[in-house]
């Protein structure tokens, strides 16, 4: 037990828990905390808008697997992170937000810059808590980090009234975190594994759909091993991208609304479908009637409430993906699947027939994405924004390692790409980090580039500028007889000039050849670069399943 102020205890607990970066913007309610931070080795990354700071912390968390910390002042500081908190929560990313608050004596009086952030964030957090006793600060900080980063990961908000951070108390830094209502299950029951193994062993046409749970539990290697034992072609959800290397012979790529044809045609043909760490989002399944109608479904998830929520399973595996997969592999490893049985042959045939044309001469979405892949080292991290460019990347960008493709899936938050890339760069400074953006989303948060430059987190942005809110325009072309409403943009802003004022290098390319040259230069450079690529505003992203249709109802280019 040591006596100190709440602020010092807050910083000390963060240090003790291994936190190295705090993203945020200060304010009156945070003055004591920011003062205490001066004496710490924790790096403070000042933002330009709290939403961006929250996305940075989220990107940091997704790239590193460690909790990301955002720290903002009361009132508007706190409400500005709401989008960031919801984005992290929906994609199960361990974000911990610390919000300043007016002193306890003023809470509930509509004091200056008072917002009931606990009430506001109740339905978008895994847990939230207002600290009301300085001596409880070490407990609250530890509890927040623990809850955010265990079980099904998620967002936590801890509210810190100013007087609590100023007052002194006897602090216990060894305080135990024990919630009787929160005991995440890690190991599944052996009988669940036995059942699942039996079904998988009997399967003639097994297919795996891997989701974000595989990425977040670091179980990519185990998943790939299981796929190889079973000779099971493996598709992924958007969040599961990276669970299996895109160039693996069994990889089918993305399935769902913008899934690849090989994935969307093979998933419904399965007789046993193993859904691993995916929550059957409507964007992944299409209409439920067309989703694996003849398959016996095995659903593996760490979150019991996801099992049988949207799709009824024959058997479940409730537990952490990595532990579960190790248990499964143990039970099925003696299976010998022929390398040229009917199913294996069909996999190869399918994969061959849907090889994408490799025409890289014109500036098209797929060609731009392939050029990015070619220019980047295999362990580079790519973040995307939200829209057509995101789906192009999801379909065409090859991922070789988990946690190297980061995207806002569940909430689909435009403006996420750039700040998330900065957070990823802060987490892994030795990696190349590139963000694929559309003009709409880029313009929402491009001001974060000043943090990238001034605080030395060099990133590359490839800006696919179609002068349209492209994804919405695509829906209007396909489903509204081409009537454009609220999607055309005639901004006079010149992005290449704009980003120069932030201190970044800006360049607009006019050909694929020039794009390749600029990408190579940017990857070799240690400063922030924005490459603007002029796109055809009428280009659609295919394949696509119209909303409400089944996986096989695929629209394609021709």
Partner 1 sequence: MSLSVISFLVENKPGVLFNISNNIRRKNFNIHSITAIAGEGEDTTRITITSRGDPKEIDKLVEQMNKMVDIIIVKRLDPLRTIQRDMALVKLHTADPMAQEEALEIINKYKGLILDIKPDTVIAQITGSVNEVNDFTKEVTHIGIIEAARTGITAIEKGWVTLKEP
Ligand X SMILES: Cc1ncc(C[n+]2csc(CCOP(=O)(O)OP(=O)(O)O)c2C)c(N)n1
Per DSSP, the residues of 216-241 read HTT-HHHHHHHHHHHT--EEE-TTTT
Which residue reads 């200060």 in tokens? 26
Of ligand X, partner 1, none, which one does residue 389 interact with (CB within 5 to 8 Å by kind)?
A: ligand X
Size of the residue set binding ligand X (CB under 6 A)? 20
The yes or no reply on residue 386 touching ligand X (CB under 6 A) is yes
Which residue reads 């500036």 in tokens? 363
SS3 state of residue 371:
helix
| Active-site residue identified among 391, 414, 444, 471 | 471
Give the nearest distance from C-beta 149 to partner 1 in angstroms. Answer: 13
The yes or no reply on residue 282 touching partner 1 (CB under 8 A) is no
Of ligand X, partner 1, none, which one does residue 493 interact with (CB within 5 to 8 Å by kind)?
A: none
- CA 369, CA 383: separation in Å to the nearest integer? 12
Using the CB atoms, write b or e for 302-324: b if 16+ within 10 Å: bbeebbeeebebebbbbbbbbbb
To the query of whether residue 114 is one of the catalytic residues in this protein, the response is no
To the query of whether residue 204 is one of the catalytic residues in this protein, the response is no
The yes or no reply on residue 305 touching partner 1 (CB under 8 A) is yes
- CA 15, CA 368: separation in Å to the nearest integer? 42
Of partner 1, ligand X, none, which one does residue 387 interact with (CB within 5 to 8 Å by kind)?
A: ligand X
Phi first, then psi: what are they for 3, rounded to 5°?
Answer: -90, 130
Phi first, then psi: what are they for 56, rounded to 5°?
Answer: -60, -50
Angle at 143 between CA 101 and CA 61, to 5 degrees: 85
Per DSSP, the residues of 193-218 read HHHHHHHHHH-SSEEEEE-HHHHHTT
Q: Which pairing describes strands 206-210 and 234-236: parallel, antiparallel, or unpaired?
A: parallel
Of partner 1, ligand X, none, which one does residue 147 interact with (CB within 5 to 8 Å by kind)?
A: partner 1
**Backbone torsion region of residue 123, taken as left when φ is above 0, otherwise alpha when ψ lies between -120 and 50, otherwise beta:** alpha
Q: Which segment (10-18, 37-45, 208-216, 406-414) binds ligand X by CB under 6 A?
A: 406-414
Considering the complex, state which of residue 115 and residue 530 has its C-beta at the smaller distance from partner 1: 115
To the query of whether residue 112 is one of the catalytic residues in this protein, the response is yes
Q: Which segment (126-134, 291-299, 339-347, 439-447) binds ligand X by CB under 6 A?
A: 439-447
Q: Per residue, what are the HEC states of 262-313? A: HHHHHHHHCCEEEEECCCCCHHHHCCHHHCCCCCEEEEEECCHHHCCCCCCC
Under rule CB under 8 A, which residues in 412-471 are in contact with partner 1? none
Instruction: Enter the DSSP assignment of 436.
Output: E
The yes or no reply on residue 147 touching partner 1 (CB under 8 A) is yes
Half-sphere exposure of 535 (CA within 13 A, CB side): 29
**β-pair partners for 506:** 530
Q: Which of 5, 237, 413, 496 binds ligand X (CB under 6 A)?
A: 413
To the query of whether residue 405 is one of the catalytic residues in this protein, the response is no
| Active-site residue identified among 8, 12, 23, 50 | 50
- CA 442, CA 456: separation in Å to the nearest integer? 20
Give the nearest distance from C-beta 301 to partner 1 in angstroms. Answer: 11
Give the nearest distance from C-beta 448 to ligand X in angstroms. Answer: 15
Q: Which of 213, 366, 470, 550 binds ligand X (CB under 6 A)?
A: 470
The yes or no reply on residue 118 touching partner 1 (CB under 8 A) is yes
Closest residue to bound ligand X by CB: 438
CB under 8 Å to 482, separation ≥6 — which residues? Answer: 476
The yes or no reply on residue 412 touching ligand X (CB under 6 A) is yes
SS3 state of residue 498:
helix
The yes or no reply on residue 468 touching ligand X (CB under 6 A) is yes
- CA 62, CA 94: separation in Å to the nearest integer? 8
Angle at 481 between CA 475 and CA 484, to 5 degrees: 65
The yes or no reply on residue 304 touching partner 1 (CB under 8 A) is yes
Considering the complex, state which of residue 48 and residue 177 has its C-beta at the smaller distance from partner 1: 177
Give the end-to-end CA distance of the chain in Å, rounded to a whole number.
71
Considering the complex, state which of residue 318 and residue 442 has its C-beta at the smaller distance from ligand X: 442
Of ligand X, partner 1, none, which one does residue 469 interact with (CB within 5 to 8 Å by kind)?
A: ligand X
To the query of whether residue 162 is one of the catalytic residues in this protein, the response is yes
Q: Which segment (34-42, 179-187, 403-411, 428-436) binds partner 1 by CB under 8 A?
A: 179-187
β strands within 332-422, DSSP E = 381-384, 405-406
Give the nearest distance from C-beta 87 to ligand X in angstroms. Answer: 10
| Active-site residue identified among 4, 104, 106, 113 | 113
The yes or no reply on residue 123 touching partner 1 (CB under 8 A) is yes
Q: Which of 35, 172, 303, 401 binds partner 1 (CB under 8 A)?
A: 303
Considering the complex, state which of residue 286 and residue 441 has its C-beta at the smaller distance from ligand X: 441
The yes or no reply on residue 133 touching partner 1 (CB under 8 A) is no
The yes or no reply on residue 464 touching ligand X (CB under 6 A) is yes
- Catalytic positions are 50, 112-113, 162, 471
Which residues in this chain contact partner 1 in the complex, by CB under 8 A? 118-119, 122-123, 126-127, 147, 152, 179-182, 303-305, 309
């Amino acid at each position: 037990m040591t006596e100190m102020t709440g602020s010092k205890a807050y910083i000390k607990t963060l240090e003790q828990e291994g936190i190295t970066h705090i993203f945020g913007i200060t304010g009156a309610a945070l003055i004591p905390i920011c003062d205490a931070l001066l004496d710490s080795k924790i790096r403070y990354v000042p933002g330009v808008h709290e939403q961006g700071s929250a996305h940075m912390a989220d990107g940091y968390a997704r790239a590193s697997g460690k909790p990301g910390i955002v720290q903002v002042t009361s009132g508007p500081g706190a409400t500005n992170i709401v989008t960031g908190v919801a984005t992290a929560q929906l994609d199960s990313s361990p974000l911990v937000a610390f919000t300043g608050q007016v002193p306890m004596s003023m809470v509930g009086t509509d004091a200056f810059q008072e917002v009931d952030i606990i009430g506001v964030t109740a339905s978008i957090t895994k847990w939230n808590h207002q600290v009301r006793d300085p001596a409880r600060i070490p407990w609250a900080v530890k509890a927040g980090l623990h809850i955010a980063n265990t079980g099904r990961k998620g967002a936590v908000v801890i509210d810190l009234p100013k007087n609590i951070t100023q007052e002194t108390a006897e602090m216990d830094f060894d305080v135990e975190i024990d919630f009787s209502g929160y005991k995440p299950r890690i190991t599944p029951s052996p009988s669940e594994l036995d059942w699942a193994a039996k079904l998988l062993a009997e399967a003639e046409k097994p297919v795996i759909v891997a989701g974000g749970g595989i990425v977040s539990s670091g179980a990519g290697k185990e998943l790939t091993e299981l796929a190889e034992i079973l000779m099971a072609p493996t598709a992924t959800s958007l969040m599961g991208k990276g669970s299996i290397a895109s160039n693996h012979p069994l990889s089918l790529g993305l399935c769902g609304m913008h899934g690849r044809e090989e994935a969307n045609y093979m998933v419904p043909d399965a007789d046993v479908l193993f859904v691993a760490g995916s929550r059957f989002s409507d964007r992944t399944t299409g209409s439920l009637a067309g989703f694996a109608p003849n398959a016996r479904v095995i659903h593996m998830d760490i979150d019991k409430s996801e099992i049988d929520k949207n799709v009824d399973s024959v058997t479940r595996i409730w537990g952490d993906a990595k532990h579960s997969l190790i248990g499964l592999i143990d039970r099925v490893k003696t299976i010998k699947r022929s390398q040229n049985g009917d199913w294996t042959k069909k996999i190869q045939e399918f994969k061959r027939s849907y090889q994408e044309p490799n025409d890289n001469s014109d500036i098209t979405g797929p060609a731009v994405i392939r050029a990015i892949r070619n220019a980047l080292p295999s362990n580079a991290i790519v973040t995307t924004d939200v829209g057509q460019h995101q789906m192009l990347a999801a379909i065409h960008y090859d991922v070789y390692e988990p946690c190297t493709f980061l995207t806002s899936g569940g909430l689909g938050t435009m403006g996420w790409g750039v700040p998330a890339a900065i957070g990823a760069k802060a987490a892994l400074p030795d990696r190349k980090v590139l963000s694929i953006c559309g003009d709409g989303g880029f313009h929402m948060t491009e001001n974060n580039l000043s943090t990238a430059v001034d605080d030395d987190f060099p990133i590359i942005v490839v800006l696919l500028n179609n002068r349209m809110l492209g994804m919405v325009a695509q829906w209007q072309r396909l489903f509204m007889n081409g009537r454009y409403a609220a999607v055309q943009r005639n901004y006079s802003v010149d992005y290449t000039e704009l980003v120069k004022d932030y201190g970044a290098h800006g360049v607009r390319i006019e050909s694929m050849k020039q794009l390749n040259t600029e990408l190579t230069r940017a990857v070799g450079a240690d400063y922030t670069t924005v490459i603007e690529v002029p796109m055809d505003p009428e280009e659609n992203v295919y394949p696509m399943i119209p909303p409400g249709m089944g996986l096989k109802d695929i629209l394609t280019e021709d």
